[in-house]
Structure 1
Amino acid sequence: MLFEKLTRPALYRLSRNDPELVHERTLRVLGATAPAMGGLRRFSGADDPVTVFGLRFPGRVGLAAGMDKDGRALRAWPALGFGFVEVGTVTHLAQPGNPKPRLFHLPASDAVINRMGFNNSGAEALARRLARHGKPGVPLGVSIGKSKVVAVEEAVADYQASLRTLYPYADYFAINVSSPNTPGLRALQDKGALTELLAGLRATSVALAGSGTPTPLLVKVAPDLSDDALAELLEVCDAHGVAGLIATNTTLSREGLSPADARTGQEAGGLSGRPLTERAREVVRFIHDRTEGKVPIIGVGGIFGATDARRMLDAGASLIQVYTGFALKGPGLVRELNRALAGRG
């Protein structure tokens, strides 16, 4: 409550109501103060360990990709109560992303529209940072995507390059084929393209693992897929040993926006936040039912409180992630979710 009423409004005033500048300044502060935050974790909710796709998570609540693309505040996130952290989406080639402005707050709808376009410093830069500073102390996921300048026909090699570069550091990889902000990317969810991509990444992962167990590969799906398209995607994932699904990415739909946000809602990009709550849960339930509960799911989209989190787990998710809810409500949300989900088995 204090964050929502005082801290966030102050950040927006200091940052000239620019959401991306608020994001940047928040990351900068968290990165600078992370070394002094180690003792905070005990205040952020009870630990509740769970094992999912072979990894031991100290809690079910994770930070979604997009918040800390380049891993600049890794040690801060566990201190705030996150049981795992997903960095990225990172691409093989460094890229500036789409022109600004590209991040828009829709306050009446508890929503955000972004068309960031995978702005990041590249896989090599992230690998150097992880080699220098180490991992965060909780499971680390790395979301990888296609470099914008690389043709869709050459996407497999591009993803493989990121996988090779970051393989020593990731506890799991999220294969992002569902962002709406890179031209042609969502076409990689189609059966033929996804088959080729997953076959290539699986082969690379097995080769890099040697005699060890390959690092889990997860696929992040769009909320805009039809049931038939999602069912086909699940068949491809099953055929290529995908360890789990992340549901969902942002949506192109504008359903559920408040009339007060109608003008900003016309901005191009992916919508996240409260309007996505129900659809994300529907996709999680579809995946869970279709796979008979055999495929672990990370549920993400429109989680703003304990009820949302419990319903996501009831729909079939094993873990949850937050981004927009955390950005708008602050660290207290993580504590609330941890306490709500403690003892879920």
Structure 2
Amino acid sequence: MSGIAERIVHAGYGVVFRGVFANMDPERAHHLAFGVIRALPSIPVLSGLVERYSRPPAQDGVTTMGIHFPSRFGLAAGFDKDARAIGGLGLLGFGHVEVGTITAKAQPGNDRPRLFRLIPDRALINRMGFNNHGAAAAARRLERARRNPGRPVIGVNIGKSRVVDVADATDDYLESTRLLAPFADYLAVNVSSPNTPGLRGLQELDQLRPLLSAVHDAAGRVPVLVKIAPDLTDEQIDAIAGLAVDIGLAGIIANNTTIERSGLTTPAPEVEAMGAGGLSGAPLAARSLDVLRRVRAAVPSSFCVIAVGGVTTEADVQARIEAGATLVQGYTAFLYEGPTWATRINRLRRRRLRREARAAR
């Protein structure tokens, strides 16, 4: 949309957020917004107008993993857990949409409340627990989504079903792979969420190698990436990066949410009362950049590295690209910035790329 219209919508969302959403249970607010986004493609006049002004700049496209991404900026896993709103999210300007985390078996996730806002920090704490309707149901929706010629690139993030023992995790991931890989542009193996018991232990090399090798083989030609935690040591990051390259994975997603709580503006008693879960948003920015640089230094230049964590502005996107990211994702800022977030980043990306093109003449 035009800069003026975009700013009006953004300002209006700010009023609605402060007056309504900030006083509402975060999960309920998410479902309300999600319903509108999901319905967007079914309103032809509105969807056409939104798509026209939200479209990413063509010069920001990149080809990686054998896939052409219309822009470097996309939506991270967590927002669309069941692959229900891919079309609407694409209309809002995201060049790719990573759905999930999807598990082989349907599961309700952890008990509510399980999503908390840290408004002074522009952050979230979640312990959702991979709530989703299972891989078989998601596969049917993904098959339909792929028929849309204007769809964004679709990534599918898979995780371990809660009822499955860690010892049987590989078979569980393989079930999801067999069901979902045929309808995914790429698969992301999530072994780094703090909200499923035992999951992060799968990042240990003796468990990670057979898991990733099996998923890579089962996925066939579909690129496979692994999503890692920001709480790993430098040595662990280097080891996983080396393993990913050795196995032949297509890339690494750096990174998931953190269990750290240091340096927050939100009062400590409030944070403590929220309980366990992964922290995302602006406080994660510095660590995510460090992890990104570490991963990029450990892998070949052609290896895809997707940066996620603390991305809010176009300047954040550019900083990740300059630090070596092939693609950049955001999520938490979407809840704070509203529906024109990707449009605004795309507009500023277009402006930046035009300046760079003029300077290069």
Both proteins in one fold, TM over 0.5: yes
Q: In the alignment, which of 167, 170, 173 is matched to residue 181 of structure 2? A: 167
Question: Which shows bigger deviation, 223-232 or 196-205?
Answer: 196-205
Shift of 1:133: 4.8
Secondary structure of 1:168 counterpart: helix
Matched with 1:210 is none
Structure 1: where are the runs of 5+ without partners? 207-213
State how far apart, in whole Å, the 1-side matches of 2:294 and 2:101 are. 25
Match of 2:29 among 15, 22, 46: 22
Change beyond 3 A, Cα 1:10–1:168: farther
- Report which stretch shifted further, 99-108 or 293-302: 293-302
Structure 1 contact 60–341 (Cα < 8 Å) conserved: no
Q: Which amino acid aligns with 1:146?
A: K
Q: Which residue of 2 aligns with 1:220?
A: 227
* C-alpha displacement of 1:35: 2.2
Equivalent residue letter for 1:39: L
- 1 CA distance for matches of 2:52 and 2:125? 33
> Which residue matches 1:53?
65
Matched residue, 1:306: 314
Match of 1:209 in 2: none
Answer yes or no: is 1:86 the counterpart of 2:98.
Answer: yes
1:249 aligned counterpart, secondary structure: coil
CA distance in 1 between partners of 2:214 and 2:160 (Å):
14
**Residue 142 of structure 1, aligned match among 156, 160, 164:** 156
Q: 1:242 is paired with a residue of what secondary structure?
A: coil
Q: What TM-score, normalized by structure 2, do the two folds share? A: 0.89
Deviations 1:229-268 (CA, angstroms, capped at 9, x unpaired): 1111112111111101111100000122104465135521
Q: Secondary structure at the match of 2:183?
A: coil
Instruction: Please report how far the alpha carbon of residue 270 of structure 1 lies from its aligned counterpart in structure 2 after TM superposition.
Output: 0.2
- Within 5 A, what are the aligned runs for 1:107-146? 107-134=119-146, 137-146=151-160
Letter in 2 for 1:263: E
Deviations 1:168-204 (A, max 9, x none): 2100000000000000000111101010101111221
Instruction: Give the 5 Å matches for 1:34-73.
Output: 34-36=41-43, 37-44=47-54, 45-47=56-58, 48-73=60-85
1:42: how far off? 2.3
In the superposition, the TM-score normalised over structure 1's length comes to: 0.93
**Which residue of 1 is the match for residue 86 of structure 2?**
74
Q: CA deviation at 1:327?
A: 1.2
CA-to-aligned-CA distance 1:44-95 (integer Å, 9 cap, x gap): 2533321111100111110110000011111111110010111000000000
Of 251, 261, 264, the match for 1:254: 261
Distance in 1, Cα, partners of 2:272 & 2:322 = 31
Which of 337, 340, 344 is the matching residue for 2:348?
Answer: 340
Aligned length: 336
DSSP 3-state at the match of 2:242 = helix
Q: Any idea what the Cα deviations from partners look like across 1:250-305, whole Å, max 9, x if unmatched?
A: 00001221044651355210000010011111111111112253421111111111
Percent identity of paired positions between Structure 1 and Structure 2: 44
* Bigger proportion of residues as helix: 2
Matched, 1:195 2:209: yes
Structure 2: runs of 5+ lacking an equivalent = 1-9
Change (3 A) 1:295 1:131: closer
Structural RMSD (CA)? 1.8
